[in-house]
Structure 1
Amino acid sequence: MSVGTRLAIFLAVPLVLVMALFGYIDQRNSGALLQDELAREGRAMARMVQIAMEDALRDRQIEDVRALVDQVTGYERVLGVRIFDPTGLVIYQPADLTTYPPADALALRAALRQGAPSEIRNRLEHQPVLSFIVPLRDPKGAIVGALQLMQLESYVEEDARASRHEIYTLTFLMILVTTVIVFWVIRISVARPVAELAGSFREVGSGELRSRVPVRRRDEFGRLAQAFNGMLERLEASQHSLLAEQEERRRMESRLRHAERLASVGRLASGLAHEIGTPLNVIGGRAERLMRSLPDGTPAARSLRVISTQIDRIARIVRDMLDFARMREPRLTRTGVAPVLGKVLDFMSHRFEEGRVRLDTDLSDAPATVTADPDQLHQVFLNLCTNALDAMPDGGTLRVATSRMEKQPPEKNSGTRRCVAVTFEDTGIGIAAENLDHVFDPFFTTKGIGRGTGLGLSVSYGIIREHGGWIDIDSAPGRGTRLTVYLPESRPEATAAPRVVAS
């Protein structure tokens, strides 16, 4: 059974009871009032007929008495009139009354002997009748007979039936109107919000937590919708948090597997570097000895110089592999960024000129100091300048800038830090979007064969992370590359004494 049906029944039952009680009280009061009115009317009519009869009997006008009786008998609500002599015998009555029972003997005797009028209610042929029995007197006051006027009270019952019919009709209309109003209100105020809630329940059950129930009112359903929406928001936030945790766990597992692979590669690189280093030193030494024993300009000397150059290149690759395989522990001290960067730029100035690269510097006037290993910082800046130079084979511009700022690290749930930023921005060929996520991976390079090992950025990134910083990269093909190194700024109270931290 629906809510509307139950509510309609709950309203209809008390309404019927109230209307029934009202109808009973109204019918009872109306019946009593109508009976009193009819009784007053009957007494007045009986008194009028009594006077008229006494006048006619005094004048001995029997025909007038009969005519008066017939005339009164035809009056509305009057059943008939009977005239009695002093002995109680009927002198005259209309023909219609012959079949009705005689008057009440006690009341008739009281009227004839004592002159006392009487009112008697009884039923004649299933009709309620009110009888008035009054004495008839001569001019001297002697009782010469009696008069019985019978008045119908069926009008009271007819009025009661009409009243009941009106009450029934009114009750039915009120129930009908109440039911229609209840169902309409239920449909607007209850059914629609419940349907919306049910729809949201189904959507949530299917996994759609973005579903929301519209809040149209500020009643109980509105508060329920608000509470339900709040629950969905918390569930959605929990789901996002869980998904984020799962994604973070997946990334951590991926990084762990990657770290394990890098450790294996590092061990392999360390072994290869040791195995290659010894014969490489022998070859290099013999080539230098032969080159010193030959005159300059001979073909053999030129070939030995090429051999020596390539041996130096192999040695540099071996050193990079060793640096990657076993990063030395940094010796941290309070270090100025500008002096280290200036040494690197002075060292690279000759290569910039050879590569037709114009250097544009924008160094902050304020002293920027960090707690770092100067040698490792030098290595990072040198690697970034070398990569920028290699990215501009036809020349270009390298912009180097330093600044101090508040910056938020890439780690989640971390506040901003006071950092020193060193930016290297070139106008080179740029890096494709699909390669940006791999530029810091070991042995990843976009340079041609023989031009790089893919360890420079990886080693640089590891050094900066060891110092508590990070590197941001922004690049696009044909637009150049901007690499920004962020290092935590050193506090003034930091000691200048070197200290060793574990890698």
Structure 2
Amino acid sequence: MQKCCFLQHTGAECATMSIIYKLTLSLFALSLLVFGIYGTYQLRTEAQDLRDDVEQETRLLTYSLLISVGNALRDRQTEDVQELLQQIERLKPSIDVRIYIQNRTVIRSGAESLAWPEEVEQTLQQTALDGEMKQYYFPDDEPDFLILSLPFNKTSTSLQGNLAVVRSLQKMKEDLSKTKTYILWSFFSFVLFTSLLCFFLGHVYISRPLQKLRQAMQAFRNSTEPPEPLPVKGKDELSSVTQEFNRMTAELFSAYRRLDAEMQQGRQLQRALQEADKLITIGQLSAGLAHEIGSPLQIVNGRARALANCAEHPDDVRRLAEILVVQTDRITRIVQRLLEFARRSPPERVHCDVAVAIAEVLDMLRYEVRRRGIELSFTHPEQLPFMLTNRDGVQQIVLNLIGNALASIPDAGTITVDLSEAPLTRAIETVPALRLSVTDSGKGIAPEHVSQLFEPFFTTRGGQGGTGLGLAVVKAIITELRGTVVVESQPDKGSCFIVHLPLKETI
């Protein structure tokens, strides 16, 4: 039994892992964004804190030296000043201290631990001449030195100048680089750990339940027995989905079984209706056959008796014999058409050009049409799709319809055959088809007779030798080809038979 289409096209097989990957990648990207911003902010804060600490320490040292050096210079103890500077440089190799006097004298230690750029030297000399305080970094973009120059207190010493402290920032840069490395390692370790944890938990709590649900759907689709209910653990969304799936499978299998039982009942009812229809058809054929054959048999019987009593009159014998021939021919035609109607062989379908098949029938009727002064025309597009159909059956349809049209035209008239491509609309679908119409200018059909045209043995030309089986045969062929036929007619204005034949066989 076929299952619902949504089970046939489930996408869980390819979507299960992609959900985990999407969730993991989303968390990874979010972690990169959030912790990237946090790490950048933390690194900038750390750099600013280090710079503030260096500035504060340098300022304290400079002010302390300013007092000591000022007192020593006031007492003319230059050697003590140089010794102090040397001790400071031994204790702090990253610091270099110089004293600039306004008379352009420079007091420095003997050990040159730092190489001062010429630009810094000139700036400090000019600052001493101006007697100003100056603090700045050199160079500006990526500083290597912190420079602080403070003027001596004029009341504490007779010398005028500045105490300059130049501090290398190499140690601060190394500390900052270590901090940056630590932050980066912490950042990537955390992001990697959380991503792996998300992937693992997603596999446990999402992938596995979805995999079980997918396998249950496949088993449900391929099995004719109801599957075992899936175990429900927890109270999350997947558990709710699993519960609904268990309910759905139970309800669907119950519905399938009811539908199967109803289909079995429908098949039985259809077979019963077919048997009843066969019986009705047999009854109609029997009644029609009894009526159609009974009349000529009575004539044959009566004329045979009269013939037996007219042996002395040759003319009467000849006339009665001709009547017997006519009536027996009529019985033969009725039986032959009845056999054609009742014993139709299965149609042999081939790909053919329907326009060519119809043209062959029209060529066969050209002589009869010209003899009676009737104008026969055939219109169709230059290119029509080939059709998988019963070629002989299509020709028999055209032959019978044109035969009826010829019989309905007493004098000169017109018969138009048109073939085109048009859709055939059924109850639940629309399929591509060919539309064949046969229109005549004959005497038409009475409205009360239209509904009976395709019944066996119904004819309005009984006096002209009609058997009432031609249109019944047409209807039977069209039904076998899964097509339709309708009639449009008005008395004294002609008739139009419209046939639709599907281009592809449908069952």
TM-score by length of 1: 0.46
Larger Rg: 1
TM-score by length of 2: 0.45
